[in-house]
Structure 1
Amino acid sequence: MTSAVPPPAPELLAIVEECERLGYVHGVDFSVHGVPASFGSELVVLVHGEAGYEVRYRDMGEERVVTAGADLAVARVAFLEEVAWLAAGRGRGPYVGRPSRAEQIAARTTMDEAAAAYYRRIGREPS
């Protein structure tokens, strides 16, 4: 016996419609849990569960949580921002042609600062 995914709430369907109005492709750039779509290998996913909302980045079957919380308004903003940056690399949305967030950070970071940040992320000391 399988459990069916309940239909998404109207406010989640409104986010799907908003993304589509902005030119993002459902199932390619983004997905909202419970709304059927064919999925690409890299997209941003909005999930609503018992604990609230999660914005996840999925690439080649691997997922990481970008943000999580109980507030839909916060999740919506984070979701739309992540989708906008992902879609920009595909020629869609308001960030097309702008330097990526990583490029913006790199422009104001020295090599030593970047190396120190890398070692902090992986939990190691520089050798």
Structure 2
Amino acid sequence: MPPAASVCPQKSGLFIIRTRADFLRAARAQKQGAGSMMVQARDRRDGGDAIRVGFTCSKKVGNAVARNRAKRRLREAARAVLPEHGRPGWDYVLIGRAHETAARPFEALKGDLIFALRKLHG
């Protein structure tokens, strides 16, 4: 099994969004809530075939340990789901929610991401 998306983008086909401007562009695009996360998605329309993904958690999620745990779970869910259900040329930002992201069973977390992607690409 390849490592998380942020460590090895070549194997998983995912690239990480790192700039604030890209996060802000995704924030102005489509949004879909799921039980354990919020997903923002936008079509880049720049001709690139890469799927880019970003992760964020606010301080409402908890202290640094809780936020990092939630982001690790979101990264692993994205690594498992986005290569199959994501669209090339799109940016996705996964936002963790207080209590739900860390406490939700992992299979349900992946199911929430699949549900949100289906609604966004509907």
TM-score normalised by structure 1 residue count:
0.29
Structure with max Cα Rg: 1
- Bigger relative contact order, structure 1 or 2 (CA pairs below 8 A, ≥6 apart): 2
Higher helix share: 2
TM-score normalised by structure 2 residue count:
0.30
